[in-house]
Every structure is written in C-alpha cells, then in structure tokens.
Structure 1
Amino acid sequence: MHLGLHRDPSHIGKMSVFHAEMRRRLWATIMEMTVQSSLDMGMPPMISPDDYDTLPPSNVNDEELTEADTVPLQPKPLKEYTQCSMQIAFYETLPLRLEICRLINSLHFSLSYDEAIRLGADMLAACREKLTFVQSFLGSSTPHSPNIFQVKLFDTFMRRFFLCLHRPFYTRSAHDPRFYYSRKVCLDASIMIARPTANPTEGEEEDDWNRLTYRCVGFVKSFILHSMSTIYFELTSRLEDEQDTLLTVPITISPSSSRPYVPLELQPYYNALVFARFATEKRLCNGDVNAKGYIWFCAAVARVDALLSRTDPGAAVLSASKKAVSDTAVFMREAYFAEQGKHIDLSQPYPYAGKDHGRGDGVDDVTGTPRDLEEQSRLGDSFDGVEGDLGQDMDWERLMRDESLDIGWGDVGDPQGWFGISADFTLGWGWDAPM
C-alpha cells in the first residue's frame, strides 16, 4: 500500500499501459497471498474490500503486453480463456474470502449458523462457476489452455475456505442433527483437497501437484492438516460408533495384503489417511525436518487398523510410533547425504551431547558447528537499544516447550486433539504449527 498498489492506476497520473497492467497483476498476487496466509495463521486480514479499488487484471495473454505499448489494451471477453483468466477468477472471489477470514478469525467468534450457510452457498456457487469455466478448456487446442495442476490448485485454494467456514459446526453434528450439512460439506471438501491428481506410485515425478505436495513450504503445507484432521476424526468416530455392527460382520483379510478389511463406505477416508502418511514420508525424504507429522500419521493409520481388526489400539500406536521414529532417522540421514554428499557424523561428542537442552540446541550435535556463545551473549545484553539481559527473568524453555506432544493415544481423549485442534475445531498448537 505504500507503493499505492491498492489504488487503480486510472486514479494515478500518466502511466504506460504496461506498468498499469503490471500494478494490477502485482496487487492481485499480493492480495491472494494475504488472504491465504490469514486463513493459515488464524488471524483476521489486515485489509478489507473497502480499502482498495484496484480493478482486476485485464483478460489478455502475456505476449500482448510490451513496454512499448502506447494504445489501450483490448481485453478479450471473460468467457475466453487467457493466461490471466486464473488470476482474474481468484481476484473476483477475493471479497467473499476476506469476509470469511474476518468472521472465522475474529477475536470474538460470533458467526451464526445461518450466516455460515449463506457464505458457504455463495462460496460454493462461485467455486463451481469458475471451475466449470476453467475445466471446459482442459485439453483443448486453445493456446495457453489450463492444465490439471492449475485446476487442482484453484479448487484447493477455494475449498479450504469453505472447509474452515463450516468446521466450527462440524463437531456439533455428532450431537445435534441440525448441523449435519456442515458435517457433509466438510467431509466432501476434505476428500477433494486430500485427493492426489495422479496415482502416487505411478509417474509421481511427472505430476506437478504431487511434486508440490512432497516439497511445498508455507501455507501450502496446511492443506494436509486442514483436510486430514476432519477425515481422521470422521473415520475414527465412525469406527468407534459402529463397533457393535463390525463385530457381527466377518472381517476377512486378503492373503496378499497386510491391511485389514475396510468397509466400502469408509475406503475413501482410509485411502486419504494412508496417502497423507505417504506424503509426509516423501517430504522427509526430500529434506523436510518435520518428523512429528510423519510419526503422527503412522500412529493414526495404526490406530485405525487396530480398530478395524479389533486389536489393542494402544499397543498398535506404540509399535507404529517406535518404528516411525527409526524410519525418520533413516530418511533424514539419506536426505542429508543426498544434499551434502556425505553422511552425518554423530560419533564425536559435541557440547550438548548427552545433556538436556532446549529447542534449537540440538543443531550443534548434528552439524558439529558450535554456536558463537560470545556473540550470543553480546546480543542478549542489548536488543533494539534496550540494555540488560533479556533472558534473566524469562523461562524460555518453559515458553518454548511443545505441550502438543501429549496427544493422548489410546481409547480416551478426543482424536481431533491429536492435531492440536480444540473441541470447536479451531486450530491450536498442532503437528505442523509454526514455532
């Protein structure tokens, strides 16, 4: 806003056609990042539709823009697909998504169910309209036609707002049938978000969406959390509620498979959970250091398998967690070797080896690069012009301790709590929460 991008170029002095269009495209990109980050961080957006008047980008292809342009652009009709059609679709739904973010992230949550239904209907209608338009050009001979990755990205970016809008009412549906609609739409949206665009075991390296899933950073990582928290809670709740029914049905296990029999109606949820475990494993192999995510999904799949096969869930979770920890160490060692060209040497005693230390200190053990304690002490004495030892009266270890590790495996406790989600499905400290 300091650059004036929130004002349409038509309100600013003489400006070339090229620079005016670039300002509109840049503002649309900034606003998309703003609204996605607002949803991910659980903070109200710091801007509203009343704070800007920049028009959407023109419906033209990139090659039609040159710095030598002196005549006004001739945008194509909106029903004609161009390289800017996707950005226009995002920008046109921006006011609605900003409103959703403001309501669900408000300090004083006061969203009524009727308001959620109204906003959800508007969001769903806009999503269907834009997706129908984009999908109509898939595989066409039209220049710059969209691809599967663009369609999946747009669909996911839209549905996650729909999911977060109805999630506060999702858990209430277990006790109040009036909220059944929220339960249904949350599950439908979660399945669509979690579904890969290609078989993860065939041609995965050629699929852009799978590649993004296995390597992404930032708010893209929350796709798995937002969708799988709903799917997992639904799956375990259904299994626990239907134990009496399952006991009357013979459970057969295929000789060629170690998986227990999964009822047909639960297979989409189970497959999504298994894929989430596979995706977090791939992320570790690609250099991610979020071990907790992979361990949690391994334990979650083990618990579901135990419920299906009528064995002890606690023992299954413990066994799967121990194996996941060992596997994680192997994945990280292999990723380190692939990146550095050498193996991690943990044989030499480093300053913190064998000692209790806080978050972040363990890097010395792994890399063998001791911290500059003299420099750290100097910075601690003076920060932003404030003299004194900032750590003197502050129990940093207590503040930084991750209490979400107490996840309550077993038959007791709320499953949604495993993901750092409270009873009303508002996000707290979860396995992938920013530290």
Structure 2
Amino acid sequence: MDESQSIKTDRRRRRPALSCVSCRRSKIRCDRNLPCGACVRSKHKTCVYEPQGRHSEVTSAPVGPSHPADPLSAVDSEPAVSPVTSGSNHTHRGDALHEDHSTLSLNGSTPVDSTSSQSHGPSFDVRSLLDRIKDLERRLEDSTGNHSPQKNVGQPPTAEPDLVATYPSQSHWMNQIGSRREKKSEPIAMVNRCKALARTVKAQRMPVQNVKFGTNIPPREVTDQLIDGYLRTSETVFRILHIPSFRREYENFWLSPDSADLPFLIQLQLVMAIGASVYDDHYTMRKSAMQWVYEAQCWLISPVPKTRLTISGLQVMLLLCLAQETASVGQDLVWISVGQVMRTAIYMGLHRDPKKLPKMNQFRSEIRRRLWNTILEIALQTSVDSGGPPLIYAEQYDTCVPANFNDDQLKDDDTPVAVSPPEKFTDMSVAIAFRASFPARLAIARLLNEIGTQNTYDDTIRLHNQLSAAYKSLSQQLQRFTLGDRQPTGFQRRLVDLLVRRYFMALHLPYFGPAMSEPAYAFSRKTVVEISAKLYSTVFPAAAFSPRPLQSQINDLSQMSIVPDGDDLARFTTCAAGFARSILSQASMAIGLDIQNQLQEDDSLGPPTPRADLLNIFRDSAAWVYRRIYVGETNVKGYLFSLALLTHIEGLVKGLKRAEIADSIIEVGTKSMRDCVELLKRQTVPQPDEADTTNNAQLDFDAMMAVDQDWEYDSTMQNVLFNFTNIESVLGMQTGSDMMGADFSQW
C-alpha cells in the first residue's frame, strides 16, 4: 500500500462513524436507531455504536496480527459502550454508568485510563463518555417511547447513584484484582446481557410481600398535626430531614397518593409515628404508630437491600430507631439497630468528609454531614441506654461538623451559599452546640461500658470536670442566642439539658450505693441526688412545690390533663418509651432511695423530716408512672416498686413500727395492682376502628391472675413480694442481683 493510499485511509478513519458497527462491517445502510432496523431484521444479538467526541478519533495503525483491522478490537483500551439487545426496548442506565466509571480511582482522584500510559493506545475523556451515554439514552427513549415510568408505591425504589458512594478499603475484594479489563464490545455486551437476565432471575425468585404499605394514613388535618409534632420536637435536635424537601414531597403526596415513592411513604409514616407521642395527652395514636414502625421494619428486611443504600434509605433507618423508642417497639434493642445504621453509613462513605470524595454540591455535602452527626449522637445515646460499648472512635472517621445553615438556604444545585456566623441562630445551631459536648460524653460512655477500662474514682472526678466545662460552654452558647431575633425553643433547651445532665448521673451512679456507707464517695451521692432533682424538674418544673395527686380514680383520669398546658417535653416523657422514660425513672428512684436512707440514718429525738422538695418530686414521680400506664404502658413493676418505697418513706416519717409499715405496703401494693389490672383490661377492649381486626378470643384475666379473689396477707410473703430495697440492684450496679434483695430488718 503506497503512501497516498495510507493518507486516504487515515482521513477516512478520522471521519465520525455514525453507523453501528454491524452495519459498517456488512457495508449496508444504517438508519441510526438504537437498535437499528438492520440489526432487528437480521436478529443480530447486539447493536453497538462506537464512541464519539472530541477525544474519540482513532489513530490508524498498521494492519497486522497485533493490530486487527476489526473495529471491535482495534484498541483494547476503548471504553465499553452499553449495548442494546435486539428486541428489547430498554437499557440499564446503572450498568452503563458502572462500566464507564470502572477505571475511576477509588480514592476520588482524577480518573485515568488503565492503558493511557501505552504510546499506541488513545486516551479518552470521561466527560465525553458520559455525554455519549446520555445521547444514547436520549435516542433510545425517542425511538422506543420508553419514558420514565410512573412511580408505584408497591415497587422497590430505584437506587440513587448520585447519593450513594461506596469506597472500599484496602481489604475489599475489589482491590485484590486488577482494575484493568478488556473492553471489547462483544464480551462486554454479553456481560450486560447477563446482568439484565440476572435481574430478571432475582425478581422471579423474590418472595411475594403480603404487607400493604400506606393503608393507614389518617386524614390530612390529623397528618398535619402529627408531622408538625415531629418537626417541632425531635427533628430540631436530631437532624435527619431537609425540611423544605420533605414538605415539597408531602404536598405532592396529597396531590397523587398512589404515585408516591415507597421510601418517602415509609419516611412519612415514621415521622407521624414519632409525632404521635406529642399529639395529645392520652397517646391515642399509639396503635397506628406501632403499625407504621412494623411496616418500616418489613420494608428494611425485604429483598434487594442494595436498593436501600440511598440517602432516603438511611433517613428511614434513623427515623426507625427514634420511632422504635417512642412507640415502644423493641426499644431495648435499638442499640443493635444503630450498629446496622452506622455500618450502612460507612459503606456509603458518610464517615469520610465530602471534601475528600468526588465533587458534590453543597446541599448533598451538608446532608451527609448532618446524617453522620445524628448517627453519632444516636449511637452514643443508645450506648448509655443499653449499657453496650459506643463503638465510636475518632480515628475511624473524618467527617466535619455540619455547617451553620438554615434548611431553606440549601438547594440542590451548584450555587454556593455563605455559611452563617456562629452567633446567628439557624436550624442547625442547637445540633452544632450539642455536638461540642460530644467528646466529654463519649469519654464517659467508654469508661462505663467498654471492657478493660480502669474506672477509678480519680477518673470519675476528671471526667466530671471535663463534662462540667463542656456543659458550661453549651449553656453559654445557648444563652447568647436568646439575645437575637430568633432563639432556641423551650423544648430544645430543656431536651439538650436533659440529655447532657444524664451523663453526670451515669458517671456517679456506680458510687451511689457505696456512698451510703463510705464518706469518701459523698460527692458522688450528692451529685446523683442533685442532678436527679434537676432532671425531673427540667421536665416537670412544678413538681418540687406542688406534686400531682398520687392516685386519682380511673374514671377521673380521662377528664384531667396528664401534662401541664400541653407541654411537649412533659407529654413526650409521659407517652414515649426509651430514654424519655429511663432518665426520669432512674432519677426518681435515686431520689427515693436517698430519702429512705436519710430517714433510716436520722438519730434525732423527734420525727425525721426529709427535704420537702425531694419528697414532692418522688410523690409526683409515682403519679407520673401511673399515668404512663393509663396512656398505654404495660410494665407495672415500676409503679409497684415506687408505691412500696413511698409507703415505706411515709411510714418512717410518721414513726410507724416495722410491722405497721409492712402491713401498709401490702395493702397499698394490692390496691395499686388491682387498679393496674383494670387499666390493662381497658386496653384489651377493641376500639371502634379495631373491631373488624380483633380476634374473637377473650383474655380471662380472672383465671390468669385471680385478681377478683381476696388476697389474704401472710407475714411470710413479705420477704418475697416487697423485699426491694437493694440499691445496687435498683440502679443496675450488680449483675444478677435480686431486685427484691434486702429484707425488712434493714428498714
């Protein structure tokens, strides 16, 4: 071949190839559809177009054994183009994106072609490849009419590749094989065909779900109140949602409920489940809240878990953790669920700051930072609640603290927004101020719950001082906000105060029991009592001065307000479970045991006189526990224990003899349990909207508990039923100890 022919060949090869590869090889006219008409008529398996763009010209090479003339294999570094199977009317966009990003650096560095260092191989621009893919998708939709399908609540959600980012570490299997792959069109086409068939096979194997999601949505006016209850309480401290985006989807939901995305529907139901705890004084939406929690659990354990590796899926998991606690659905096991949430977030790359990841806009960066911040807070909180190790280590994540933005400042576009100054109060100010105390709180949780830590009293005092400094700084920060136009709500200030002060009590509780007999730990005893009083007064400020009646008639409870003036925090701690119950229960028990011990140690000639404020708080706490049973709490042991301890305290104040105190405790305990049985009986009666779904079987409480029979007091029973004053067992400081371990001789 002479030089002129070689030049002509070069010029011909530099012209853009508009026909598909099969038509070019067969030298027939191509209609440039996808797939083209010739491939359809000839039943060709694949219809592939060569990539085009400013870097797609292929330099000519001598024809020979090492450089075949076949354009399908001319250069081994040619990027794979997502093929279309003849007779199919759709492509898989996720596969195309995956294949074209196969040579991207896993650490987010500049993408480099695997063979770009070879002198005879061309280099391709990733942007041109993406543009080519978009063009192919557009042409496919134009030719087949395959537009975006209508969203269906019953279908699994599509993954959000722009929000999901997995970044395997060095031990991941992807890093143990070569990243270079042969990108010849026929094999890659068959790989994609196999992927499509694999998805079909998986879909056929998927079991049929009997759960019908979204069948229990209340009317619009009720739903609005439930959502508002969540947004003004939990969401103001534990940031999970971008409120403008959520409200926009919420409005679209009411315009077309049947076309709502399933992930959003689950989010909506969980938001309502949390908001139901502050909806009214009597927790009338408890059953619906539990149903919404169960539906979310079913969705999360359904097949194809990868489709939930999205920001929306992660928000559902976080909302579920909060809803489990508020609705009392496996609230004792939330620490386990939080571990799954944290690992999911790490798999999605949320433990890496967005600055170290491939470029994303400000909106998505801040959403990721907010979610990681909330995951850390909930993981620490459940660690303290469950007694499990926090499993949080600063060297394992580098995500920064969220910036000080209002939600309406963040929009999903590329327009940068200036961060508000620290002194300006925004939607994130409380969460950011709360995060500043995180290291001190984490150190306490590690000291208490991790194996192998040396918990000396010097360590306790040191961590006490660290937490005191962090708490003082937090208080000053929140106080500065009160000077501006916008300031924290009462719920925000009181909830943060409750969540931080509990660490003082947790830190000193191990020494509370020994302090009853060891003066060296007197500081811990004083701290536990004073902090407990402040914790309870934070929720119920009037309790120290005017406690509620100890026990009203059951018929009177429905006519009275259980919480003062619809206070959100008081209503939340009365209706919800989880930390809302445990913090106040632990505080009231510590106060009661301290009063009892003081009265027993009193050696004055006159009758002992306990602190009036502490006695009032303990009386109010007994009434609070009873009201929790009225609104749906099923655990009555706490109420029995509180009344028995209160009766003993009042007997000591009156100067009663030991036998008289024992008789009073038996009488009060019997009456209180009869009342609790009546309350639980009422809860078993189906409500009007439950009549159709209630089983016909009736529970025979008389046969089960013999509550209608006369209970005869036997003096031998006292050491079994009301032998309860073991401080260590009450406060959980000794494993395996009997909760009713002490005898009446200690009274």
Q: TM-score, normalised by structure 2?
A: 0.45
Which residue of the other structure, out of 597, 615, 638, is the alignment partner of 1:237? 597
- Tell me if structure 1 keeps the 8 A contact 2:389–2:446: yes
Which residue of the other structure, out of 136, 161, 177, is the alignment partner of 2:519? 177
Which residue of the other structure, out of 418, 421, 430, is the alignment partner of 2:732? 421
Structure 1 distance, partners of 2:397, 2:720, is: 44
Equivalences for residues 207-356 of structure 1 within 5 A: 207-242=567-602, 244-245=603-604, 247-249=605-607, 263=609, 266-311=611-656, 312-337=660-685, 339=687, 354=703
- Tell me if structure 1 keeps the 8 A contact 2:589–2:642: no
Structure 2 distance, partners of 1:165, 1:271, is: 25
Moved more, 288-297 or 30-39: 288-297
Equivalent residue number for residue 387 of structure 1:
none
Q: Deviations over 1:345-386 (max 9, x none)?
A: 999776998479xxxxxxxxxxxxxxxxxxxxxxxxxxxxxx
Quick one: which amino acid aligns to residue 302 of structure 1?
T
Which residue of the other structure, out of 488, 493, 510, is the alignment partner of 1:146? 488
Structure 2 distance, partners of 1:51, 1:117, is: 28
Q: Deviations over 1:131-173 (max 9, x none)?
A: 23213444x6623x21221111101111111111111122222
Structure 2 distance, partners of 1:57, 1:169, is: 37
Structure 2 distance, partners of 1:66, 1:427, is: 54
Structure 2 distance, partners of 1:162, 1:170, is: 12
Structure 2 distance, partners of 1:427, 1:80, is: 51
Quick one: which amino acid aligns to residue 421 of structure 1?
G
**Aligned-pair distance for 1:110?**
2.2
**Aligned-pair distance for 1:409?**
2.8
Structure 2 distance, partners of 1:289, 1:126, is: 38
**Aligned-pair distance for 1:268?**
2.1
**Aligned-pair distance for 1:27?**
0.8
Structure 2 distance, partners of 1:191, 1:40, is: 20
- Tell me if structure 2 keeps the 8 A contact 1:239–1:308: yes
**Aligned-pair distance for 1:176?**
2.7
Equivalent residue number for residue 532 of structure 2:
190
Structure 2 distance, partners of 1:306, 1:57, is: 54
**Aligned-pair distance for 1:308?**
1.1
Quick one: which amino acid aligns to residue 722 of structure 2?
W
Structure 2 distance, partners of 1:205, 1:336, is: 29
- Tell me if structure 2 keeps the 8 A contact 1:152–1:197: no
Q: Does 1:131 align with 2:454?
A: no
Quick one: which amino acid aligns to residue 409 of structure 1?
F
Q: Does 1:44 align with 2:389?
A: yes
Equivalent residue number for residue 165 of structure 2:
none
- Tell me if structure 2 keeps the 8 A contact 1:44–1:105: yes
- Tell me if structure 2 keeps the 8 A contact 1:204–1:210: yes
Structure 2 distance, partners of 1:128, 1:407, is: 46
- From the superposition, tell whether residues 240 and 109 of structure 1 become closer, same or farther in structure 2 (CA, over 3 Å): farther
Q: Deviations over 1:311-347 (max 9, x none)?
A: 232222211111111111222334455855789x999
- Tell me if structure 2 keeps the 8 A contact 1:162–1:189: yes
- From the superposition, tell whether residues 419 and 172 of structure 1 become closer, same or farther in structure 2 (CA, over 3 Å): closer
**Aligned-pair distance for 1:234?**
0.8
Structure 1 distance, partners of 2:481, 2:641, is: 40
Equivalent residue number for residue 399 of structure 2:
54
Quick one: which amino acid aligns to residue 184 of structure 1?
K
**Aligned-pair distance for 1:229?**
2.8
Structure 2 distance, partners of 1:135, 1:15, is: 35
- From the superposition, tell whether residues 349 and 55 of structure 1 become closer, same or farther in structure 2 (CA, over 3 Å): closer
Structure 1 distance, partners of 2:642, 2:686, is: 25
Equivalent residue number for residue 377 of structure 2:
32
Which residue of the other structure, out of 62, 75, 86, is the alignment partner of 2:430? 86
Structure 1 distance, partners of 2:478, 2:451, is: 37
Equivalent residue number for residue 386 of structure 1:
none
Equivalent residue number for residue 443 of structure 2:
99
Which structure's CA Rg is the greater one?
2
Where 1:225 maps in the other structure, the secondary structure is: helix
- Tell me if structure 2 keeps the 8 A contact 1:302–1:317: yes
- From the superposition, tell whether residues 109 and 172 of structure 1 become closer, same or farther in structure 2 (CA, over 3 Å): farther
- Tell me if structure 2 keeps the 8 A contact 1:233–1:415: no
**Aligned-pair distance for 1:76?**
2.2
Structure 2 distance, partners of 1:337, 1:349, is: 9
Moved more, 200-209 or 160-169: 200-209
Where 2:347 maps in the other structure, the secondary structure is: coil
**Aligned-pair distance for 1:87?**
0.8
Equivalent residue number for residue 104 of structure 2:
none
- From the superposition, tell whether residues 225 and 134 of structure 1 become closer, same or farther in structure 2 (CA, over 3 Å): same
Structure 2 unmatched ranges of 5 or more? 1-345, 549-560, 706-717, 741-747
Q: How much identity, in percent, do the aligned residues show?
A: 27
- Tell me if structure 2 keeps the 8 A contact 1:134–1:146: yes
- From the superposition, tell whether residues 126 and 339 of structure 1 become closer, same or farther in structure 2 (CA, over 3 Å): farther
**Aligned-pair distance for 1:206?**
1.5
- From the superposition, tell whether residues 173 and 164 of structure 1 become closer, same or farther in structure 2 (CA, over 3 Å): same
Equivalent residue number for residue 118 of structure 2:
none
- Tell me if structure 2 keeps the 8 A contact 1:60–1:75: yes
Equivalent residue number for residue 504 of structure 2:
162
- From the superposition, tell whether residues 84 and 338 of structure 1 become closer, same or farther in structure 2 (CA, over 3 Å): farther
Structure 1 distance, partners of 2:685, 2:701, is: 23
- From the superposition, tell whether residues 407 and 127 of structure 1 become closer, same or farther in structure 2 (CA, over 3 Å): farther
Structure 2 distance, partners of 1:280, 1:81, is: 36
**Aligned-pair distance for 1:226?**
2.5
- Tell me if structure 1 keeps the 8 A contact 2:586–2:731: no
Where 2:594 maps in the other structure, the secondary structure is: helix
Equivalent residue pairs, number: 360
Structure 2 distance, partners of 1:41, 1:101, is: 11
Q: TM-score, normalised by structure 1?
A: 0.74
Where 2:611 maps in the other structure, the secondary structure is: helix
**Aligned-pair distance for 1:32?**
0.8
Quick one: which amino acid aligns to residue 498 of structure 2?
T
- From the superposition, tell whether residues 22 and 427 of structure 1 become closer, same or farther in structure 2 (CA, over 3 Å): farther
Q: Does 1:11 align with 2:356?
A: yes
Higher RCO by CA contacts (8 Å cutoff, separation 6 or greater): 1
User: What's the Cα RMSD here?
Assistant: 3.2
Where 1:313 maps in the other structure, the secondary structure is: helix
- From the superposition, tell whether residues 80 and 236 of structure 1 become closer, same or farther in structure 2 (CA, over 3 Å): same
Equivalent residue number for residue 59 of structure 2:
none
- From the superposition, tell whether residues 132 and 297 of structure 1 become closer, same or farther in structure 2 (CA, over 3 Å): same
Structure 2 distance, partners of 1:184, 1:271, is: 18
**Aligned-pair distance for 1:208?**
0.8
Structure 1 distance, partners of 2:736, 2:427, is: 36
Quick one: which amino acid aligns to residue 456 of structure 2?
S
Structure 1 unmatched ranges of 5 or more? 250-261, 357-404
